[in-house]
A and B are shown apart, each in its own frame.
Chain A
Amino acid sequence: MNWLIAILQTTLFVALAPLLAGWLKRCKCYLQNRKAPSLLQPYRDLLKLVNKQPVVSEQASWLFIKAPYIIFSATVLAATVVPLIAVNLPTSASADVIVMVGFFAFARFFLALAGLDIGTAFGGMGSSREMTISSLAEPAMLMAVFTLTMTASTTNLSFAISHVLEQGLVLRPSFAFALFALILVAIAETGRIPVDNPTTHLELTMIHEAMILEYSGRHLALIEWASQLKLMLYGVLIANIFLPWGIAQTFSLHDLGYGLLAIMGKLAVLAIILAIAETLVAKMRLFRVQEYLGFAYLLGLLGMLSHIILEAAR
């Protein structure tokens, strides 16, 4: 039964990710005074891509063709670790947040290789930029996560969320710092403005898109889907760690349904905030990203210090 719910949760994760992307797009359209496409447009796009025959360069090795499957699977596995609608599921109990970060790194490794594999100038450029940014983003992410895990005394997300729920609404300075750090990292990792622009057509400015320029058909669909999944993962991570209320602690139908509604509501609000932020700022210069992620790291560090100084002593 527990495993069934765990599988259901992961399926929901994968199935709802395009919806979140559609909602985010809709919010951005409204903010730009545009007519928005249907909420289901990302699904249609994926379907369209799946039905198209992929075009693969003659120079591509097996890696280029396999990479989309590896990337998609790794991202789905990362999704199993993060509690979406319920805590205490067997999948999330067996792996912790370090594993989740590991899955992300694994997917990124193959994406960067695929970018290099094809031998175009843009792919190599994108891989190089992606690696530069992730080498700065990962320490900041871990620092923020460690702040949380020190409070809960565990690196397991499920237990950490239960701990926050038990404690009730407590204002922790360390959580505030960690929240901001995690938001900054999430924006960088998911390639949103101001770090990267997911909708650009300008090859020279791309980071994530430059690596996948040569992909088409179902390969592209898998990578796009994985990106949407990653965006949702970060959204759920932020929503459920810092505001876990609503998440199901028992597996009754009522609790699970309530948990689903709660997380959808939280994600919808987060997407609105992200859309507003993306509308208000221009993309920053590439060489500002290090300052930006350095700041995220600093916030994570401050969070940890404030935990040690203010919270751990009691």
Chain B
Amino acid sequence: MNWTTTFLTQPVSWVNPEMPDKPIGDYIGGLVQHSPLNNVAVWQIEDKHWQQFAITAVAENLRWIASWAEQADKQFIVNACFEKQGIYIVLRTVINATKPELPSQATVYPAANRSERHTQDMFGIHFIGHPDNRRWTRHQAWDKHQYPLRKDFPVQGEPPSITPPDTNYDFVKGYGAGVYEIPVGPVHAGIIEPGHFRFQAVGELILNLEERLGYVHKGIEKIAEGRTPDSLARLAGRISGDTTVSHCWAACMAMEQAAGVSVPNRALFIRGIVAERERIANHLGDMGAICNDVAFTFAQMQFTRLRELWLRTNATVFGHRLLMDVIVPAGVSRDVSELSCELLKQDIVMLKKELSEIMPSIDLNSSLEDRLYTAGYLSPEIAAAFGTVGYVGRASGQDFDVRRDAVYPPYNQVTVKVALEDQGDIASRFWVRYKEINASLKLIEQFINLLPKGDISMPWITPSTDSEGLGIVDGFRGEIISYVRFGDDNKIARFYPRDPSIVNWPALEKLVLGNIVPDFPVCNKSLNGSYSGNDL
């Protein structure tokens, strides 16, 4: 028995005084429980209760996770995913395609804001009462009345020969004496992804920050349609280059559930090893980048060096520095030999030794401390309200980790220690990463020691039409969920990956408030959202 049972049977008098003591399940009306997805309950409700459910859910401290839609004949199916205490539910409703509209959940969950706007741009579903109805993913590459994820829209699109600049976006304006605007990006001086940041500042103090993303929209959801499982796995591995393993894993997990394929134990352990190696490589890079943004180049050079050594071992053992395409549907593509296991173990010893030399010199540096402590503060309340995950959430006291709280193999055979800090500043996000590196090193060690013998992949079983799957894994940025529905003939009908950046990016707008303009880059780096994963 978990919270979902009590959730449905509790009286809703506090939601609707006209119906005292009526259980939520009855009140919501027509709530149908579908067969679960990956042990995740699927509740179908009527569209008119969509917002009411969110109001009830937020009062019960459910975390909003993702929302996505799909087209089915003359109807749209809209889904939203929630979580509490490691138990996930998928909320579903069906709306008519002739006048597609749905009460907005963004009024209750600020985290749902951009996702609903994305759905609005891609499907033309109008969200009634949405607090911000500006376009989001749509820039100028397609017309206002074209909806790329509808079935009648061609896969290659109808792009103009030269995409016009995205000029008429209605940014929030600041007024008053001494208030000025700083537009930054989308093209930046460093080698980073494109994104636009619009500041309003008085002197150096940031009054408001508005993000404008979508510059790396690649149409991942559209080009996923009609793919075979192998080819979808490859695509998922390219949603965000630094998270290739975890996205690929989430997509494969979803497909394997849909097809009812069980993955051999040895493959699961290898997946665990590569996922943790990916986490470590990225955290090393991030820690260096944070130091570099406050001009502490020494640390950056050291972390970059360590990351490079780490990636070279990836190339030797798994054939790819970033571990792309190691995970494939129903298994993994590379086995690890005894010799490789030795190499991986030596790598762990090397990294531990190096970090034990570098970290004290960073910890004791007061000039670094002066920059990182108290800067970019994200309160636990805001972190919870936006449903931030990964190191951003964990640095603000959000004690959640899929690997522990909604455990999936191989993590059920080891103990996962979740790094936690509660100061909510850049330093906390720095130290959470360091703690996670240590935890991941221990995990890799255990995986290698427990590595079972056997096959590394199973034959694929063609799933039946309309079978669905939901993959939930913990990437280095936090929880990734991946929804897959199969169509006929082993072909993908719908794929929606939710990168953790989608819930973490909005937190940046809040955590920079009260900071000064020159501190923004290091605030941003401490969050390190993926532009590509957000824009899809």
Instruction: Indicate with 1 or 0, residue by residue over B364-379, a CB within 8 angstroms of chain A CB atoms.
Output: 0101101100000000
Using A121-B182, A284-B370 as known contacts, say yes or no to A279 and B521 having CB atoms under 8 A apart: no
Q: Which of A121, A122, A125, A200 contacts B295 (CB 8 A)?
A: A200
**Which A residues are in CB contact (< 8 Å) with B517?**
125, 204
Of B238-246, B272-280, B298-306, the one touching chain A: B298-306
Q: A282–B516 contact, CB under 8 A?
A: no
Using A205-B521, A285-B516 as known contacts, say yes or no to A34 and B367 having CB atoms under 8 A apart: no
A-B contact count (CB 8 A): 77
Q: A286–B181 contact, CB under 8 A?
A: no
Rounded to whole angstroms, the CA-CA distance of A121 and B517 in the bound complex is 12
| Nearest CB of A to B179, in Å | 13
Instruction: Check if B184 is an interface residue, CB within 8 A of chain A.
Output: yes
Q: A285–B519 contact, CB under 8 A?
A: yes
**Which A residues are in CB contact (< 8 Å) with B184?**
121, 203-204
Instruction: Check if A287 is an interface residue, CB within 8 A of chain B.
Output: yes
| Nearest CB of B to A135, in Å | 15
Q: Which of B297, B298, B370 contacts A285 (CB 8 A)?
A: B370
Instruction: Indicate with 1 or 0, residue by residue over B269-311, a CB within 8 angstroms of chain A CB atoms.
Output: 0000000000000000000000101111110011001000000
Rounded to whole angstroms, the CA-CA distance of A194 and B366 in the bound complex is 13
Instruction: Check if B405 is an interface residue, CB within 8 A of chain A.
Output: no
Q: Tell me the A62-113 residues at the B interface (CB within 8 Å).
A: none
Closest chain A residue, CB of each to CB of B183 = A121
**Which A residues are in CB contact (< 8 Å) with B294?**
282-283
Instruction: Check if A313 is an interface residue, CB within 8 A of chain B.
Output: no
Instruction: Check if A202 is an interface residue, CB within 8 A of chain B.
Output: yes
Q: A281–B516 contact, CB under 8 A?
A: no
Instruction: Check if B190 is an interface residue, CB within 8 A of chain A.
Output: yes
| Nearest CB of B to A90, in Å | 42
Using A33-B302, A202-B521 as known contacts, say yes or no to A282 and B181 having CB atoms under 8 A apart: no
Rounded to whole angstroms, the CA-CA distance of A202 and B292 in the bound complex is 10
Rounded to whole angstroms, the CA-CA distance of A202 and B180 in the bound complex is 19
B residues contacting the other copy or chain, number (CB 8 A): 30
Instruction: Indicate with 1 or 0, residue by residue over B477-519, a CB within 8 angstroms of chain A CB atoms.
Output: 0000000000000000000000000000000000000001111
Q: Which of A28, A125, A194, A199 contacts B367 (CB 8 A)?
A: A194
Q: B371–A284 contact, CB under 8 A?
A: yes
Q: B189–A283 contact, CB under 8 A?
A: no
**Which B residues are in CB contact (< 8 Å) with A205?**
293, 518, 521
| Nearest CB of A to B198, in Å | 10
Q: Tell me the A198-244 residues at the B interface (CB within 8 Å).
A: 199-205
Instruction: Check if A197 is an interface residue, CB within 8 A of chain B.
Output: yes
Instruction: Check if B136 is an interface residue, CB within 8 A of chain A.
Output: no
Rounded to whole angstroms, the CA-CA distance of A283 and B516 in the bound complex is 14
**Which B residues are in CB contact (< 8 Å) with A280?**
298, 365, 367
Rounded to whole angstroms, the CA-CA distance of A202 and B517 in the bound complex is 11
Q: Which of B183, B189, B296 contacts A282 (CB 8 A)?
A: B296
| Nearest CB of A to B122, in Å | 32
Rounded to whole angstroms, the CA-CA distance of A31 and B220 in the bound complex is 44
Given contacts A121-B182, A205-B293, A286-B516, 12 further A-B contacts (CB under 8 A): A32-B297, A32-B301, A193-B295, A201-B188, A202-B189, A203-B184, A205-B521, A279-B298, A283-B296, A284-B367, A284-B370, A286-B518
| Interface residues in chain B, defined as those with a beta carbon under 8 Å from any beta carbon in chain A | 180-184, 188-190, 204, 291, 293-298, 301-302, 305, 365, 367-368, 370-371, 516-521
A-B contact pairs, 16 of them (CB 8 A): A28-B297, A32-B297, A33-B301, A34-B301, A122-B182, A125-B182, A194-B367, A200-B295, A201-B188, A204-B517, A282-B291, A282-B365, A282-B368, A283-B295, A284-B367, A285-B516
